């Protein structure tokens, strides 16, 4: 179902006219109210009135996570605190947390976009939503909650944790939709199995999963273990929270970005240059309706591409493909941008398992040399040397086909790849540049 | 009448081979036959042992990747052309030998070869029809 027919299926031309108008207004506002933007935009040699069309967007400076940290806690707010009705913060696991705020109207917009998202995933008024996203500083729990109420569905605010009780609630209440992070969902499946509860006997039709990177493989695992359809949702607190983009259940091929509220761009993470539709690069967002925490050209660090093709569901909003990596992990090998996650997807496609692998880059005679070390687990082991050699050649060929880079594949024993805090070290760059 | 073989993935074959054999010997597991196939990068060690379950668990606990396959232990007459006759039989029946290696002990007057086939059941049936003896696990370990 399409929640907001008018805006979600608006012809591109009209949509772009709205975007341009809202962009102009946003730039005027941030230059008037946020010293950070005022200074940065002036330093770029621009006045708010220079931003006349969508084409002018690329002239504006980027905003980074570090900028948000530097302005901790409220330096990026565009309105006095008396207009702010809600504050969220991202976890500070990799440094200072980033703090975001919402006016009453922002909360309304967010609720409406989450209602759109739930509807795009397949939810209607009659559904009961088991919301296992954490409630708190994290935007996931409350974001889904307000959207569910806005849509008119029944929401169970179960939050994260206390997993056994969650299974009992699933059995007794019979919710039809599960919202959770993919990893917690797999944990729920495990605990249910331990308790002897089969998802086949529960009432779930589908689930909406996001808030952390997950692979196509994980999607299949969730769909199999929970006997449901798994829908992908995207969002980040710096831009708003969940509900920035959603997969429509009709196509399930990419996530529609709600372009009447956010303008997406794909850039080359090295040069900052804007890339055309279809090319892979870093996703950048500009919010164009937010009041308390507008954000201009925010570098998400997420690697993806945009697909402008019309969708069978009727929505006209551009689709972003599944996030395949983080720009921080990007390697440039013989001039080609390579993301470890691309190699990972090649390996996964071939073996059907999450492989442990490592990219080693050396410079030999002024040429970059990429070696991919792959741990041989039981899933890919064979007692026949020839089969193992064929597999090495096939991986090399698939990497070459997909990335356009020659690599040497080297099979290694389990645990041969160094781990750091339990995670394999993905990249070793021995080049001295 | 097949025999179970275990195979182990080895990186840097030379040093790791000695580790596998010493782990097995520390755990009183007897190696009855062994073959190592290696490339410049890695090797695959195939073993016939007297306690396959124990060997498998022990090696896995030591972090090795271990596989298990069904192979045939075939008696080969100890005369010129003895092996060739068997290979000819298999070739004519279109059965592919992936690899083979010698077992340490003889069975009576006959030598014993370990065969890895792509279709072991067809191979065993053919050998039986042609009067070639394949030895089962329990007999093999007591040779
Ligand atoms: Zn669609």
Q: For the domain that residue A298 is a member of, what is the CATH number?
A: 3.40.50.12780
Instruction: Give the separation between CA B74 and CA B88, rounded to whole angstroms.
Output: 14
Cβ–Cβ below 8 Å for B44 and A414: no
Cα→Cα distances A397→A343, A401, A428, Å = 12, 6, 22
Q: Of A287, A305, A326, which residue constitutes the final position of a domain? A: A326
Rounded average pLDDT over A20-35: 97
Rounded average pLDDT over A170-198: 93
pLDDT at A367: 86
| DSSP secondary structure string for all residues of A235-302 | EETTTTEEEEEEE-TTT-SSEEE-TTTEEEEEE-TTT--B--TT--EEEEEEESS-SSS--SSEEEEE
If asked whether residues A108 and A238 sit together in one domain, one would say yes
| DSSP secondary structure string for all residues of B95-127 | PPEEEEEE-SS-BTTBEEEEEEESSHHHHHHHH
Per-residue model confidence as pLDDT tens digits over A255-293: 999 999 999 999 999 999 999 999 999 999 999 999 999
pLDDT at A21: 97
Q: Of A305, A326, A347, which residue constitutes the final position of a domain? A: A326
pLDDT at B105: 78
Q: Say whether pLDDT at A134 is over 70.
A: yes
Quote the minimal CA–CA distance from B70 to chain A in Å: 11
Instruction: Give the separation between CA A284 and CA A225, rounded to whole angstroms.
Output: 34
Cβ–Cβ below 8 Å for A383 and B116: yes
Grouping H, G, I as helix, E, B as strand and the rest as coil, residue A86 is strand
Which domain, by its residues, includes A235? 1-326
User: Which residue carries 């569901």 as its tokens?
Assistant: A313
Instruction: Give the separation between CA A151 and CA A112, rounded to whole angstroms.
Output: 8
Q: CB within 8 A of A323, min separation 6: which ones?
A: A213, A234, A283, A302, A303, A304
Residues of A in contact with B17 (CB under 8 A): none
Per-residue model confidence as pLDDT tens digits over A327-346: 888 888 888 888 888 888 88
Instruction: Give the separation between CA B45 and CA B35, rounded to whole angstroms.
Output: 6
Select from B42, B68, B117 the residue whose CB has the most chain A CBs within 10 Å, as the one to mutate to test that interface.
B42
Instruction: Give the separation between CA A259 and CA A316, rounded to whole angstroms.
Output: 9
Rounded average pLDDT over A206-215: 87
If asked whether residues A300 and A345 sit together in one domain, one would say no
pLDDT at A352: 60
Report the candidate in A93, A375, A131, A409 with the shortest Cα–Cα distance to residue B65: A375
CB nearest to B63's CB, from A378, A411, A415: A415
Query: Higher-confidence residue: B139 or A228?
Result: A228
Q: Of A277, A293, A326, which residue constitutes the final position of a domain? A: A326
Q: Say whether pLDDT at A92 is over 80.
A: no
Rounded average pLDDT over A79-84: 97
Query: Higher-confidence residue: A175 or A424?
Result: A175
pLDDT at A90: 84
Q: Say whether pLDDT at A200 is over 70.
A: yes
CATH number, domain with residue A373 = 3.30.300.30
CB nearest to A378's CB, from B67, B69, B116: B67
Which class for A49: exposed (0-12), middle (13-18), buried (19 or more C-beta within 10 A)?
exposed
Rounded average pLDDT over A220-245: 95
Per CATH, the number for B3-68 is 3.30.2130.10
Select from B4, B5, B9 the residue whose CB has the most chain A CBs within 10 Å, as the one to mutate to test that interface.
B9
Per CATH, the number for B70-141 is 3.30.2130.10
Instruction: Give the separation between CA A310 and CA A336, rounded to whole angstroms.
Output: 30
Q: Say whether pLDDT at A118 is over 70.
A: yes
Splitting chain B (143 residues) into consecutive groups of 10 residues, what average pLDDT does each group show? Answer: 92 85 94 90 93 94 93 91 92 93 83 92 93 85 74
pLDDT at A143: 97
Q: Say whether pLDDT at A28 is over 90.
A: yes
Cβ–Cβ below 8 Å for B16 and A412: no
Boundaries of every domain in chain B: 3-68, 70-141
Cβ–Cβ below 8 Å for B116 and A414: no
User: Which residue carries 């108008």 as its tokens?
Assistant: A21
Q: Which residues pair with A303 in a beta bridge?
A: A282, A325
Q: Say whether pLDDT at A6 is over 90.
A: yes
Q: Is the dihedral of CA A342, A346, A352, A353 positive or negative?
A: negative
pLDDT at A423: 63
Question: DSSP E strands: which ranges in A29-187?
Answer: 84-89, 99-103, 128-131, 154-156, 177-180
Query: Higher-confidence residue: A354 or A294?
Result: A294
What value does the CA radius of gyration of chain B take, rounded to a whole number of Å? 16
Q: Say whether pLDDT at A141 is over 60.
A: yes
Rounded average pLDDT over A194-220: 90
The reply to whether domains B3-68 and B70-141 share a CATH topology is yes
Select from B14, B17, B44, B99 the residue whose CB has the most chain A CBs within 10 Å, as the one to mutate to test that interface.
B44
Confidence label for A94 from pLDDT (cuts 50, 70 and 90): low
pLDDT at A433: 59
Average pLDDT, chain A: 92
Instruction: Give the separation between CA A239 and CA A244, rounded to whole angstroms.
Output: 8
In eight-state DSSP terms, residue A83 is G
Which chain B residue's Cα is nearest to A377? B65
- Contact assessment for residue A38 and residue A29, using Cβ atoms and an 8 Å cutoff: no
Asked if the bond preceding A347 is cis, omega within 30° of 0, the reply is no
If asked whether residues A85 and A224 sit together in one domain, one would say yes
Q: Say whether pLDDT at A125 is over 60.
A: yes
- Contact assessment for residue A302 and residue A326, using Cβ atoms and an 8 Å cutoff: yes
- Contact assessment for residue A46 and residue A60, using Cβ atoms and an 8 Å cutoff: yes
CB nearest to B98's CB, from A384, A389, A416: A384
- Contact assessment for residue B99 and residue B44, using Cβ atoms and an 8 Å cutoff: no
Question: DSSP E strands: which ranges in A104-215?
Answer: 128-131, 154-156, 177-180, 206-209
pLDDT at A374: 92
State in Å: Cα A258 to ligand 1 middle: 12
pLDDT at A56: 97
If asked whether residues A192 and A285 sit together in one domain, one would say yes
If asked whether residues A347 and A316 sit together in one domain, one would say no
Q: Say whether pLDDT at A165 is over 60.
A: yes
CB nearest to B65's CB, from A381, A385, A389: A381
pLDDT at A421: 61
Exposure string for A150-160, b = 16+ CB within 10 A, e = fewer: bbebbbbebbb
A415 in B contact zone (CB under 8 Å)? yes
Q: Say whether pLDDT at A135 is over 80.
A: yes
If asked whether residues A347 and A313 sit together in one domain, one would say no
**What's the structural domain count of chain A?**
2
Instruction: Give the separation between CA B86 and CA A245, rounded to whole angstroms.
Output: 66
Q: Say whether pLDDT at A93 is over 60.
A: no
If asked whether residues A318 and A358 sit together in one domain, one would say no
Confidence label for A101 from pLDDT (cuts 50, 70 and 90): very high
- Contact assessment for residue B11 and residue B143, using Cβ atoms and an 8 Å cutoff: no
pLDDT at B14: 75
- Write out the H or E segment, with its range, that includes residue B138: helix B137-142
If asked whether residues A293 and A336 sit together in one domain, one would say no
């Amino acid at each position: 179902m399409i929640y907001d027919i008018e805006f979600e299926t608006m012809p591109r031309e009209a949509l772009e006219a709205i975007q341009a108008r809202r962009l102009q207004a946003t730039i005027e506002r941030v230059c008037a109210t946020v010293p950070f933007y005022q200074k940065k935009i002036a330093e770029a040699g621009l006045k708010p009135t220079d931003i006349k069309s969508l084409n002018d967007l690329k002239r504006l400076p980027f905003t980074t996570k570090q900028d948000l940290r530097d302005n901790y806690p409220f330096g990026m707010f565009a309105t006095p605190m008396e207009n702010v009705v809600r504050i969220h913060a991202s976890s500070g696991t990799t440094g200072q947390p980033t703090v975001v705020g919402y006016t009453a109207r922002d909360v309304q917009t967010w609720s409406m976009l989450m209602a759109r998202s739930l509807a795009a995933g397949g939810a209607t008024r009659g559904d009961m939503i088991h919301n296992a996203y954490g409630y708190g500083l994290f935007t996931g729990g409350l974001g889904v909650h307000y959207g569910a109420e806005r849509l008119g569905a029944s929401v169970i605010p179960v939050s994260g944790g206390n997993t056994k009780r969650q299974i009992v609630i699933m059995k007794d209440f019979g919710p039809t939709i599960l919202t959770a992070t993919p990893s917690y969902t797999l944990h729920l499946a495990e605990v249910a199995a331990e308790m002897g509860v089969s998802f086949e006997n529960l009432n779930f039709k589908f689930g909406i999963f996001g808030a952390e990177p997950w692979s196509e493989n994980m999607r299949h695992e969730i769909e199999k273990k929970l006997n449901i359809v798994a829908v992908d949702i995207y969002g980040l607190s710096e831009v708003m929270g969940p509900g920035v983009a959603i997969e429509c259940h009709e196509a399930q091929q990419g996530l529609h970005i709600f372009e009447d509220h956010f303008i997406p761009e794909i850039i080359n993470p090295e040069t900052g240059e804007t890339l055309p539709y279809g090319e892979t690069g870093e996703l950048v967002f500009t919010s164009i309706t937010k009041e308390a925490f507008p954000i201009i050209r925010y570098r998400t660090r997420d690697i993806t591409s945009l697909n402008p093709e019309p969708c069978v569901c009727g929505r006209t909003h551009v689709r972003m493909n599944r996030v395949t990596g983080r720009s921080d992990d990007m390697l440039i090998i013989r001039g080609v941008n390579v993301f470890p996650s691309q190699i990972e997807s090649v390996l996964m496609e071939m073996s059907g398992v999450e492989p442990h692998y490592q990219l080693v880059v050396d410079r030999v005679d002024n040429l970059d040399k990429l070696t991919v070390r792959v741990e041989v687990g039981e899933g890919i082991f064979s007692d026949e040397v020839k089969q193992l050699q064929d597999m090495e050649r096939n991986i090399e060929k698939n990497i070459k086909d997909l990335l356009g880079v020659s690599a040497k594949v080297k099979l290694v024993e389990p645990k041969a790849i160094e781990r750091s805090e339990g995670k394999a070290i993905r990249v070793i760059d021995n080049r001295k540049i | 009448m097949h025999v179970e073989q275990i195979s182990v993935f080895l990186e840097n074959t030379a040093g790791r081979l000695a580790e596998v054999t010493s782990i097995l010997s520390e755990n009183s597991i007897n190696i009855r036959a062994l073959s190592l196939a290696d490339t410049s990068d890695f090797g695959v060690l195939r073993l016939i042992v007297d306690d396959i379950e124990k060997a498998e668990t022990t090696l896995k606990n030591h972090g090795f990747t271990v596989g298990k396959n069904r192979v045939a232990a075939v008696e080969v007459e100890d005369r010129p052309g003895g092996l060739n006759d068997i290979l000819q039989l298999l070739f004519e029946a279109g059965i592919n030998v992936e690899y083979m290696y010698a077992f340490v002990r003889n069975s009576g007057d006959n030598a014993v070869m370990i065969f890895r086939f792509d279709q072991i059941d067809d191979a065993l049936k053919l050998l039986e029809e042609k009067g070639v003896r394949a030895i089962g696990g329990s007999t093999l370990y007591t040779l």
